Structure 1
Amino acid sequence: MAMRRLVSSPDAVGNLTSQDTEVPTPKANECLIRVKAFSMNRGELKRSQNDPLGTPIGWDVVGVVEQTAQDGSGPPIGTKIVALSLRSEGWAEYVAIPTRFLAIIPQGVSDTDAATLPVAGLTALYAVEKGSRLLGNRMLITGATGGVGLFAIQFARMMGASAVAQIRQPAQEAFVRDYGADEVVITETGQEAKQFAPYRLIVDGVGGELVGTLTAFLAQGGTCVCYGSSSGNEMKLSLADFYSENGGQRTLYGFTLYTEVEMESASSGLARLLRLVEQGRLKTHIDRAVSWREAGVTAADLIGRRFSGKAVLHVD
């Protein structure tokens, strides 16, 4: 049976085009999912710019179980699920997903909200959980207006930390405060973050020289979790900032979601996130909810930072 999917195309708008292919045949531990919606992440779009023509794409998936797993590990046919497609094949009409990477969506959670959770939600959750002794201490979130940043602000508050949000534009301050930021630092270099130091935890997706500056503001025993590098991979670090200043014992942690889900399954993490959304304790921010026919334009706008939060596309 044939289906449509989105694939990389260097000459197309947003580097995306549609392609006809065969519906995948799931393995024994996989469910076949009829996709209803997906959300976009800047990381996968930037990667697609360098992928060969025709490379599949898509991490975040919401859909309905079309065929249950043969080994009995998955939910029954007709169950609504959210999933993480580690093979990056989710922007399609159908996708095969191992059961340990999907979770059942409760009735009180919309498809649109659920679609934002796999990459941004899990990244924020697992990154914040790298911190210790957060209760009563400060946590700094860089790139705070993005999907990961907005979730991380909320998790900081849930864990009893004071959330300090780093942004680049003054106009963004009210936005991040609405999601729970206790303090806001408007800076591109990071120097202004010193006023609220020390930080027990820094969650960073910006990278570059910003990280080199911020590590000096870690508390004794503090951790800087780096999950992205939108400003570049190169930085200058002072080793003295890690072993002598402020008592030392500081850690720089390289975060990759692909390996984090080996420590706790995506299924388990997604179930936790869904409960928080259902309880009204975790807010999503969806700037665009459109048809997947608008994928190219939406991808170009996301890469160009022409909106904040998440874009959710419905497969129609």
Structure 2
Amino acid sequence: MKALVYDSEARHGVRFAEVNQPRPVPSEALIRVEAASLNFGELAFADRQLRPGQVFGKDAAGVVIEAAGDGSGPPVGSRVTSFAGTGGWAELRAVHTGDLAIVPDRVDLAAASAVPAAGVSALQAVRRLGSVLGRRVLVTGASGGVGRFAVQLAAKAGAHVIAAVGRPERGHGLADLGASEVISGTAVASEAVFAVLDNVGGPLLAQALEQLEDGGIALSIGWASREPTVIDFESLRMRGGRRRLEPFSVSGPFGADTAYLMDLLRSGHLDPQIGWRGSWNQIDDAVEALLGRRVLGKAVLDLAT
């Protein structure tokens, strides 16, 4: 079957290849993939995550063509979306049924493919903060996939969301998603914040930490800057109080959280924020746009075109 695989010698580390069809174990369903989405981290850090020749892709949506042998999961013909470590950018994907979610009839499969990795990461990160009702939450890298979902979900949880972006034009549409404030080129909010959801790292994370109020928490979700973070702990000590910084990692199984997000899509309470969509034959264009910070939100590949 046709797939997009990791090759360090290829342009952007991605190339088409013919690979063996997956052989599902009893707890896995086999999906005919119709749409897949790209995530910044899986491309920027592919050399850390994939072996040469391994199939890319955390997110993929399509139709079940072989139900799980153990009887779990949806039947043949079901429209589903999935979140797993690899294997999504291929004509067929075998995925554990615990990491699948049914796609409602009214939801486009391309939109469904945009949600799992970024949406579930944002959902679990917002949940990790505890109650944010009436509290100020700073989201850095708010223009990206995780960032735009985090803005929406934190706002729905009752937070006063401050969305930080690299350039003013990257903030387009964030107010409509629920951001109360949009700032660019900095992580300096007008007032102290209860929490930081950081997708950038580097100097911006250190700057954001300085914004935390006593008892506040910062979650390091992503590392889009690919720059080291140097923290002035003496400055934090002089301010007094207690503040927490935690590395955040998403945890599975992902099916239940993905299903919750699919319901939000169905009801119109979540926007997938697809900023680029095209044939998977345009993979180079998609990767260049995403890594070049020209995509607001998610980039989606259609496998049928």
TM-score normalised to structure 2 length: 0.93
Alpha-carbon RMSD across the aligned residues, in angstroms, is 1.8
Deviation at 1:233, TM superposition (A): 5.1
Quote how far apart the aligned CAs of 1:112 are. 1.4
2:174 aligned residue:
176
Aligned to 1:114: 112
Pick the aligned partner of 2:228 from 228, 231, 234. Answer: 234
Structure number with the higher helix fraction is: 1
Counterpart of 2:213 in structure 1 is: 219
* Aligned counterparts of 2:237 and 2:70: Cα–Cα separation in 1: 50
Residue 265 of structure 2: aligned partner: 277
Alignment partners' CA distance in 1, 2:292 and 2:171: 20
Would the aligned equivalents of 2:279 and 2:301 in 1 still touch at CA under 8 Å? Answer: yes
TM-score, with length taken from structure 1: 0.90
Q: Is the 8 A contact 2:143 2:171 kept in 1?
A: no
Q: Matched residues in 2 for 1:174 and 1:99: separation? A: 37
* Off by >4 Å, runs of 4+ in structure 1: 49-52, 240-244
**Residue in structure 1 matching 2:285, options 272, 297, 311:** 297
Q: 1:267 is matched by which residue type in structure 2?
A: G
C-alpha distance in 1 between matches for 2:6 and 2:271: 31
Deviations 1:6-51 (A, max 9, x none): 1123343332211112211100100011111100011111123565
Structure 2 stretches of 5 or more lacking a match?
Answer: none
| 1:40-79 equivalence runs, <5 A | 40-48=38-46, 53-79=52-78
Q: Does structure 1 retain, via aligned residues, the 8 Å contact 2:219–2:247?
A: yes
Q: Partner of 2:199 in structure 1?
A: 205
Q: State the 1:82 CA deviation.
A: 0.3
Compute the displacement of 1:96 (Å): 0.7
Unaligned runs of 5+ in 1: none
Q: Distance in 2 between matches of 1:241 and 1:133?
A: 28
Distance 1:70 1:173 in 2: 46
Per-residue CA deviations over 1:69-117 (Å, capped at 9, x if unaligned) read 111111101111000122x111001111001111111112111110111
Aligned residues: 303
Asked if residue 196 in structure 1 is aligned to residue 191 in structure 2, the reply is yes
| Structure 1 residues 123-149: Cα deviation after superposition (integer angstroms, max 9, x where no partner) | 111111111231111000001111111
1:254 and 2:247 correspond:
yes
Distance change >3 Å, CA 246–CA 150, structure 1 → 2: farther
Provide the rounded CA distance (Å) in 2 between the counterparts of 1:160 and 1:284. 20
Identity of aligned residues (%): 35
The counterpart of 1:167, out of the listed 161, 165, 185, is 165
Give the counterpart letter for 2:62 in structure 1.
Answer: G
